[in-house]
């Protein structure tokens, strides 16, 4: 559990394909994650049991859920129910804030 997350004290995790991740506050029921994307980076199609809300902080993304595609700009948000196939492509470098319930234990192992 992480109750307070000071941005400059949270480890930046480099991911393959031009992405980064910061694990922010979390408890067993909920987790916040900041995900950075370089232009052209792709969050490959995937599925997990967690419900997810993604909020676009900056950049431009093409996001798809179960075959429905939308262009997402700063201030836009989406919800993905657990068990649905989803992914995104970054058109203009940016950052997403992802909220998961329950928390993604696989992210903190």
| Domains present along the chain, CATH in parentheses | 14-107 (2.60.120.10)
Q: How confident is the model at residue 83 (pLDDT cuts 50, 70, 90)?
A: very high
**What would the mean pLDDT of 5-19 be, rounded to a whole number?**
96
21 has a pLDDT exceeding 90: yes
Q: What is the pLDDT of residue 109?
A: 83
4 has a pLDDT exceeding 90: yes
54 has a pLDDT exceeding 90: yes
DSSP SS3 for 109 = coil
DSSP SS3 for 107 = helix
User: How high is the mean pLDDT of the chain?
Assistant: 96
Q: How confident is the model at residue 104 (pLDDT cuts 50, 70, 90)?
A: very high
The residues pairing with 71 across neighbouring beta strands, listed in sequence order, are 62
84 has a pLDDT exceeding 90: yes
State the Cα–Cα distance between residues 45 and 53, nearest whole angstrom: 16
State the Cα–Cα distance between residues 35 and 20, nearest whole angstrom: 6
Q: What is the pLDDT of residue 85?
A: 97
């Amino acid at each position: 559990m992480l109750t307070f997350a000071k941005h400059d004290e949270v480890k930046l995790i480099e991911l393959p394909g031009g992405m980064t991740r910061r694990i922010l506050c979390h408890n067993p029921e909920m987790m916040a994650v900041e995900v950075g994307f370089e232009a052209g980076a792709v969050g490959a199609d995937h599925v997990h049991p967690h419900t997810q809300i993604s909020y676009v902080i900056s950049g431009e993304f093409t996001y798809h859920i179960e075959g429905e595609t939308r262009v997402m700009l700063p201030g836009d948000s989406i919800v993905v129910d657990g068990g649905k196939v989803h992914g995104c492509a970054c058109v203009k470098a940016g950052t997403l804030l992802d909220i998961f319930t329950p928390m993604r234990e696989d992210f903190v192992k």
